[in-house]
Amino acid sequence: MIVSVIGGTGPQGLGIAERLAIAGLEVIVGSRKEEKALDIVAKAKEEFADYDLNMTGMANEDAAKAGDVLIITVPLAAQKPTLEGIKEFCNDKIVMDATVPLETAIGGKPFRFVDLMEGSAAERTASILKGTGAKVICAFCNISNSHLANIPEEIDCDCLIAGDDKESKEIAAEIIDKIPGVKTIDCGILEKARIIEKITPLLIGLNIKYKSHYGGLRITGIPALDKE
């Protein structure tokens, strides 16, 4: 299985890509410009030479075409143009979307949420990819970039996901759970992304308040993923 991280040269995307590659997955890092992706991957391989990372850099379009599972890690302002650029390569694929509608997209505060017409960024992705058969899943929204970058430490945070296709969520969870310390929690249908995405600005605000970079969330008392 090949996992392509679209917009993977930013802190979040690169952190996810590195974590999954260290876990043994074949990972493609996508970028608007192939040269940037190749450069970032070369630096990652040098930094984590002990892990022999199976990572490749490509332009977003090529990464989407080659990947079996796609992870979208772009800011809100870049979400629509990025998806429109890769839409033709999303047919019947699992598309995990980590986009969060933060006020920073319009010059505001990072701990404030922007309400979208579609209800959530993940639902916006589903709307843009409508007709492709893509299985859209809200994922990775509540795991901080600092946690992801803090290799090799385990991540003390659950990953909340939401989507309308049960089998796709199970596959997504198998991928996400390869990251040490992370437990995937299935929160239900894609509409639940409206709640999940709003947790991000809350966590950002808490990190600012308590001068931390590692604020996270744990859900207790329920199974990691309901597979019944």
CATH classification at residue 206: 3.40.50.720
* Local structure of residue 86 (DSSP, 8 states): H
* CA–CA gap between residue 159 and residue 12 (Å, rounded): 14
Q: Residue 200 domain-assigned?
A: yes
Residue 169 near residue 186, CB atoms below 8 Å: yes
Among 60, 57, 52, 65, smallest CA distance to 27 is for 57
Q: What is the pLDDT of residue 104?
A: 66
- Does 79 fall in a domain? yes
The answer, yes or no, to whether residue 152 has pLDDT greater than 50, is: yes
174 in any annotated domain = yes
pLDDT band at 84 (very low <50, low <70, confident <90, very high): very high
In a domain, 110, yes or no: yes
Q: What is the CA radius of gyration of the chain?
A: 16
CA–CA gap between residue 4 and residue 28 (Å, rounded): 5
| pLDDT score recorded for residue 101 | 84
Contacts of residue 38, Cβ cutoff 8 Å, sequence gap at least 6: 57
Asked if residue 217 is part of any domain, the answer here is: no
Give the mean pLDDT of the chain.
Answer: 93
Range 78-87, long-range pairs (CB < 8 A, 24+ positions): 78/7, 79/121, 79/124, 79/125, 80/124, 80/128, 82/6, 82/7, 83/125, 83/128, 83/129, 84/128, 85/60, 85/61, 86/6, 86/60, 86/61, 87/128, 87/129, 87/132
Q: What is the pLDDT of residue 225?
A: 63
What pLDDT, on a 0 to 100 scale, did the predictor assign at position 106? 58
d(CA 131, CA 106): 30
Residue 228 lies in a domain: no
Residue 228: pLDDT band with limits 50, 70, 90: very low
Identify whether the C-beta of residue 84 lies closer than 8 Å to the C-beta of residue 30: no
What's the domain range around 135?
2-210
| Mean pLDDT, rounded, for 168-190 | 97
Tally of structural domains, the chain: 1
Angle between helices 34-47 and 11-22 (to 10 degrees): 50
The Cα 74–Cα 187 span in angstroms is 22
Q: Are 156 and 181 in contact (CB under 8 A)?
A: yes
151 lies in some domain:
yes
Residue 215 has pLDDT above 70, yes or no: yes
Does 58 map to a domain?
yes
pTM: 0.93
